[in-house]
Structure 1
Amino acid sequence: MSKQQSIFSPPYLLLSLGIILAVMAVGFEGLAITTVAPAIASDLNGIHLYGWIFSAYLLAQIIGTLVVGRLIDRKGPAQPFTIALLIFVIGLVLAALANSMFLLIASRALQGLGAGAMMTCVYTAISLKYPDELRTKILGAFGTAYVLPSMLGPYVAGVISQQFSWRYVFWGVLPILLISSFLSLPAFRKIQSPAVKATSGGMTSTWLAVLLAIGTGIFLRGLGMLPETLGIILVIVGVALMVQPLRKLLPAGTLTLRRGLPSVLATRGLFFAGYVSTQNFLVLALTDIKGLTADTAGLIVASAAISWSVVAILQARWDAADNGRGRNARIVIGILLLVVGFTTVFWIPAVNIAIAVIGQVIAGIGMGLAHPTSGAVAFSNIGKGGSGEVSASLQFADSFTPGVIIGVGGAIIAISQASGVSMENGLIITMGCNLLLILLCLFASTRTKTSPAADHI
């Protein structure tokens, strides 16, 4: 590869722009909703369902992600990408018109379904069209794609929510999404997936994905009803429904942290879950406990995305300098920084604006190191074909564990309120769970050395 070649060289220019714009649209929506979620829950009288604003979105990604993976391997990413965009648009429109928390949650599920499929298409495009030397650069550009949304999205969303209505946040995402789709689709249509023999497991995987999402939803609903008897029953039923799909859908050894790709995916799911959950509940703590306005809380959350994007660019340069030999070390270092960032904001009574910003910046640096690098390591495990499946596994890691952990956090808040425990103490418990999660992730990250692609199933 020529030293002058980059992700913006002629062979990659249109695709790179399309990928960055697609990620920017999804990122803008995600960051904006993080800011206005407290206002949505309050306006629709649904604070007890607060966690579902995020969990419905992330759990629906499971279905969108896993259903589209094998389809991409057979037909390429263009058609699935188009369908995913339409589903995402419908979800945005329904959310803007929602008059109840249940309709809002359903619309968020549609958004998650579309976003999961979209991002799987994006990951597949990276694995098929970019050489290994450019993958950390385009994955690092994901962080760059969050710069504009992270600087403007949360703040603008907060202002819109305060001055007008949170509904305009959803309407405002539509033009961004439509422009990004107009520029992205031509590039996606030029991508052809390598021929992969169709198997009878495609439909089975689809139903397993649906069963996993249903089981997880039942599990989270049960958590929110504890310690009632019905809640205990739902938790048990949910876990029973989740076990078999997880064993079948994940690469062999993921649940036991087998070295290589399985541990890469486990590590990614754990640190991404901790990061997203900490951000979401930090906003709730800053607005409901500390009395900050939504726009101020949004700017604090944005500091993490900015540091993430800057370090993501730097890690691509470091990767080029050592020819990828330091990737596993960068994952471990990134997670160590996440431990520091989470610890900083763990004790809610001591958190103020300065402490929150410091914690978010440190966590963002950790994500800038660990997130793109883990993606590059996963792609290095791809053998002949199967790009869609490995891409789906990456997106699965970015959606399933965060959905569960945010749902657990929401359940903790609901149980706290029902039992008379203060919101502040409920948030401390939630942040403590995130900290324990990232400590487990630290152990998993020491086992990410690559293994043969045959480990993937």
Structure 2
Amino acid sequence: MRASAVSARPGAGILQRPYLLVTVGACALVFLAAFESLAVTTVMPVVSRELGGASLYALAFAGPLATGVIGMVGAGNWSDRRGPVGPLLSSVAVFALGLLVAGTAGTMWAVVAGRLVQGLGGGAMTVALYVVVARVYPAVLHPKIFAAFSAAWVIPSLVGPFAAGLVAQLASWHWVFLGVVVLVLPALAMLLPALRGVRSGNANGNGSADGSGGGTASDPAGSPVPWAPGRLAWAALAALAVLGLNLSSGLSVAGPFLAGAAVVIALLAVRPLVPRGTLTARRGLPSVILIRGLVAAGFFGAEVYLPYLLVERYAFSPTFAGLTLTGGALAWAAASGVQSRLGGRLGSPVAVRIGSVMVLLAIALALVTTALGWPAAVAIAGWVLAGGGMGLMYPRLSVMTLALSTPDTEGFNSSAMSISDSLGGALSLAATGIVFTAFTTTAASFTGVFVLTAVIAAAAVALAPRVAH
């Protein structure tokens, strides 16, 4: 049984002692990471124009996604070997350093460098926070804290772009980066008391290096987790694949070939970075990790094109088309709260099944709306359903990942889940970009995109029963 690092009080919630400060601090870090990723989208055109960096514009977005993969793997291995305290403190410091470099930049190259460092820290911070959850909170509170993480991630999508634009207009784009640094420090300070009680490693050493959680035949008790520099090499290769996928859409002729090569490299590189059997949907944890990537691919691959559809086919203004996604974001937060309140009354495998079906139905509604010319309200309402499905199952996939981990595989498995998220979205966006440009008519392009994402979502539905251990 996993013991928490703080003395639990029977019936205590995540906003009660002894968890209040660690909850607020952890959620604040999640919020700030999400805010920064969204805020940059708003201010980067201003940054590019002021610094003359149009040629580096795409790299400023793709670079952090790539370095984030390396950060995830490094933090996972470090957490399993020494506990999450060192990785968390270091990742927050690296994240803040990247913000400082970008915020004080006088050239576009400096902005990109800061973004690369920021991505490295942000990826590591995500994994370290998951291990902190595993070692601070009892399992009964995991649905609640992951619901809080979901809300902390979704809220910036409602206020982040507007707030960033306001800061850039009233002060300077520099403060969109520098202002977050000021807020990161008190957030980390709230976590420090709880971190002092977190154990530094796995005393029992009862896991395995591939995340399966078992010892060897010759050493039934297992052994302390070794450093795994080879994983960093595979992570670097996966990072290059993510970079190639994100940059391929800007190349008209070579783009599809670059994307195809990147997909192959990504699939080869990811195998050592996830539990054995993930790519073949082995029952239990491997399927949990795979489903996480599939639902990310289906949801985010379709979400990108929904506002585009509303502008092109239904003459929505860009602002109003963007606001249609707000309903999905609110539904995500609301459904996360619902699964939190239901707790053990809603089994995690059931939540995953229901959520994956909801996402598939939403994409199917967008597809039918596009193909048959139905009113835009059908697709918009459907996206509320998609947000609800994600809010229902995303926290439970996180809960299951930790529940199926041993103390010395929490970092590896949390890293695998985060990588599945990242690669799933990157693969889907690259594939939908190729499909969209392959057709000669706009209607066919949108139909092709929603067919592809519906197939991905259907795969998640078909494999969802396999998450049950």
Alignment of 1:115 with 2:134, yes or no, is: no
Q: Quote the residue 1:455 is aligned against.
A: none
Q: Quote the residue 2:32 is aligned against.
A: 25
Q: Quote the residue 1:439 is aligned against.
A: 458
1:118-267 correspondence to structure 2 within 5 Å: 118-146=125-153, 148-157=155-164, 169-192=176-199, 193-195=201-203, 196=205, 197-198=223-224, 202-218=228-244, 221=247, 225=251, 227-228=253-254, 232=257, 234-235=258-259, 237-239=261-263, 241-267=265-291
Given the superposition, is the C-alpha separation of residues 33 and 428 from structure 1 closer, same or farther in structure 2, using an over 3 Å criterion?
A: farther
Partner of 1:255, secondary structure, is coil
Partner of 2:228, secondary structure, is helix
Give the share of equivalent positions with the same residue, in percent.
Answer: 29
Match for 1:319: what amino acid? G
Q: Quote the residue 1:366 is aligned against.
A: 389
Q: Which moved more, 1:202-211 or 1:272-281?
A: 272-281
- How much does 1:259 deviate? 0.9
Match for 1:374: what amino acid? L
Q: Which moved more, 1:26-35 or 1:164-173?
A: 164-173
Partner of 2:399, secondary structure, is helix
- How much does 1:217 deviate? 2.9
Aligned counterpart for 1:328 among listed residues 323, 346, 349: 349
5+ residue gaps, structure 1: 451-457
Match for 2:156: what amino acid? P
Alignment of 1:61 with 2:68, yes or no, is: yes
8 Å CA contact retained: 2:327, 2:384: yes
CA deviation string 1:335-358 (max 9, x = no partner): 111122233444569698855642
1:299-318 correspondence to structure 2 within 5 Å: 299-318=323-342
Aligned counterpart for 2:363 among listed residues 333, 342, 345: 342
In structure 2, what is the Cα distance between the partners aligned to 1:95 and 1:119?
Answer: 20
In structure 1, what is the Cα distance between the partners aligned to 2:51 and 2:302?
Answer: 23
Q: Which moved more, 1:104-113 or 1:310-319?
A: 104-113
Q: Quote the residue 1:292 is aligned against.
A: 317
Partner of 1:446, secondary structure, is helix
- Larger RCO (CA under 8 A, 6+ residues apart): 1
5+ residue gaps, structure 2: 1-7, 206-222
Pairwise CA RMSD: 3.8
Aligned counterpart for 1:273 among listed residues 288, 297, 310: 297
Partner of 1:23, secondary structure, is helix
CA deviation string 1:78-124 (max 9, x = no partner): 22222212332343345556788876665444332211111101110
Alignment of 1:4 with 2:11, yes or no, is: yes
Partner of 1:447, secondary structure, is helix
Alignment of 1:91 with 2:98, yes or no, is: yes
Given the superposition, is the C-alpha separation of residues 285 and 84 from structure 1 closer, same or farther in structure 2, using an over 3 Å criterion?
A: farther
Match for 2:234: what amino acid? L
Given the superposition, is the C-alpha separation of residues 57 and 301 from structure 1 closer, same or farther in structure 2, using an over 3 Å criterion?
A: farther
Alignment of 1:399 with 2:422, yes or no, is: yes
In structure 1, what is the Cα distance between the partners aligned to 2:427 and 2:53?
Answer: 19
Q: Which moved more, 1:267-276 or 1:195-204?
A: 195-204
In structure 2, what is the Cα distance between the partners aligned to 1:35 and 1:329?
Answer: 38
Q: Which moved more, 1:91-100 or 1:253-262?
A: 91-100
